[in-house]
Structure 1
């Protein structure tokens, strides 16, 4: 009965989404075709049209990665499989799209790992502060055996993990002074997401965690209600926080990746050959997505510099004190101690 009620709720969400979308169009629409419930055929019975949900705008790095994925699939199947990318949340919010992918009503979604960790607890490990030494270490993990193991973890939620996308690293920024060490953060009121892990991180480095809605952060920084916040460099700029918080320290305390997943129901309808084409195309699309993210980050960095912001890089020695301070937080993840150790041992 519970599963039936959940299915009814998902169907209601789908109908609501279709009504709300009205005349909205995907980023790439075939000349003919009618997407419906996982797969659809156009005028040619051999053409399969699949849908991918994306909540970011058309020019965002993850959307560009999605489009590269779609291009590669169409190219490698000689047009037999086409993927329509619905960006800007056209198919619904992130959570509802994930649920529809579970039931096979939508074929793919690009999402943060945070909502998926509800179904695959192992993914929480990737959100631990300072779990990686640096960006190179992160991608050695994600594109290796451990990353493949974690992609497979969403299988238990009737989904298939395909690849990882870049979303950069989160860093502390503030209105008061350049932060070169933990001592400089002492007592600062730092806006943080209302999660046990993130609040614990801010406390561990000596600051005072202050949860508040993201939309209120700019005015809170401006009026001194808070002293700082944390986010990746592009968000620091796009939110205009750089206008009022001129000091950002690139400590990279979390590097939470994005993930592209498929509905297992959709994949099971395809031949083994086509499944492999989709898997490889997704992995190959990562290169372009990471390249676009790097460009986006560099543009944001230059905008901040031009505005007079102070961008502070921490060397390994300075970063080690931050890493040591958060180790007690790992105790809550004792069941994943072996996985954590494997990540830390990866070269």
Structure 2
């Protein structure tokens, strides 16, 4: 008679390995089910907008219980700003965060946000984009297959140069200044007597260093972050434009999300926008102090000179009315109007 079969218990390390294998399988299944949202931008990883997008990633992944996975590509890892616009338009990436200048040629109504000297301060600027102007622009983006998820702050743009302090309109005459590729921006500096040229931000430091251009304009925080103080001497708080950062998603991909997922993305974007605005305002104030401490010669713009700037660029405002529409321009310049 055969003795009953006797089975030794599996050693603990075999049982543990089996448990790990099961956990890994479940994790792999979860990852396979998770939808990946690729998000790309041209700002450095430590810029306030890029930091805010990391918050966006965390909020989306947490609120969706891992159903949505967000992959952030900052610092031009997936190409230039123009590349990112093309990628989100085609749907090869889900979302980008980008200045309006790179979209103004395809959405002319965006030019209304580029009216020179339009906003007294950031609060005035945000009242405009958070109101009916922002709603109108969202409709224009939707018609182009894009979802507008919010406006971050890039900030008031300031002028730096290597030639002289800016104390009058005459000091701008012939000044070769780098600008973003925006028709209204270029027209504004031509009206001020300067010689504007569009150069990609990644090439700007070298252009300033070599003398290919004599001047540039950016928010204080960007000037500090990109160390333009090493290749520029004079700093002026011209605040000629207030610039935003648009959060844009591919509409087809966004509409493909379930309603509850769309809500998660919208809420995470709103939280990222709020956090970034608070950080950007603080950084803007700190940057001007640091730039002065680094040795830049700061030349404040007098109210009388600012009035001269406005008079010189009135023709640009008229051209924006023709391009973007008088009603939209009036809503920007008089947000409290009828």
TM-score by length of 2: 0.79
Tell me by how many angstroms 1:344 deviates.
0.6
- Bigger RCO of structures 1 and 2 (CA < 8 A, at least 6 apart): 2
Deviations 1:208-252 (A, max 9, x none): 5466763312332xxxx7654322223333444324533211111
Three-state SS of the structure 2 residue aligned to 1:191 is strand
CA distance in 2, matches of 1:241, 1:92: 22
Establish whether residue 191 from structure 1 lines up as the match of residue 180 from structure 2: no
Q: Helix, strand or coil: the match of 2:76?
A: coil
Q: How does 1:14-53 map to 2 (within 5 A)?
A: 42-43=30-31, 45=33, 47-53=34-40
Structure 2: gaps spanning 5 or more residues = 1-25
* 1:63, distance to aligned residue in structure 2 (A): 1.0
Shift of 1:318: 4.2
Shift of 1:327: 0.9
Query: C-alpha distance in 1, partners of 2:160/2:264?
Result: 43
Cα distance in 2 for partners of 1:62, 1:174 equals 26
CA 1:137–1:239: 2 relative to 1, 3 Å: same
1:265 aligned to which of 249, 252, 263: 252
Matches within 5 A, 1:1-347: 42-43=30-31, 45=33, 47-183=34-170, 185-187=171-173, 189-193=175-179, 196-209=183-196, 214=204, 215-220=206-211, 228-314=215-301, 316=303, 318-333=305-320, 334-335=322-323, 336-347=325-336
Unmatched 5+ residue regions in structure 1?
1-30, 34-40
Change in Cα spacing, 1:331 to 1:175, as seen in structure 2 (3 Å) is: same
Counting matched residue pairs gives 304
Which structure has the bigger radius of gyration? Answer: 2
Q: Write the distance in 1 (CA, Å) between the matches of 2:194 and 2:91.
A: 44
CA distance 1:166–1:211, change in 2 (3 Å): closer
Determine if contact 1:218/1:241 at 8 Å carries over to the other structure. no
- Cα distance, 1:199–1:267 mapped onto 2, change above 3 Å: closer
Distance 1:211 1:287, change over 3 A: closer
Cα pair distance change 1:143/1:154, threshold 3 Å: same
Say if 1:130 and 1:252, in contact at 8 Å, map to a contact too. Answer: yes
Are residues 61 and 169 of structure 1, via their aligned partners in 2, closer, same or farther at CA, if it must alter by over 3 Å? same
Partners in 2 of 1:229 and 1:87 — Cα distance? 23
Residue 343 of structure 1, CA deviation: 0.7
* Structure 1 position 66, deviation (Å): 0.9
TM-score (norm 1): 0.77
Contact 1:188–1:227 at 8 Å: present in 2 too? no
State the Cα distance separating 1:161 from its structure 2 match. 0.8
Deviation at 1:282, TM superposition (A): 0.7
Tell me if structure 1 keeps the 8 A contact 2:177–2:194. no
Superposed displacement of residue 295, structure 1: 4.1
* Contact 2:128/2:134, CA 8 A, preserved across alignment: yes
> Secondary structure of 1:141's match?
helix
Deviation of 1:186 (Å): 4.9
- For the 8 Å contact 1:192–1:199, the answer to whether it is kept is no
Indicate the residue corresponding to 1:28 in structure 2: none
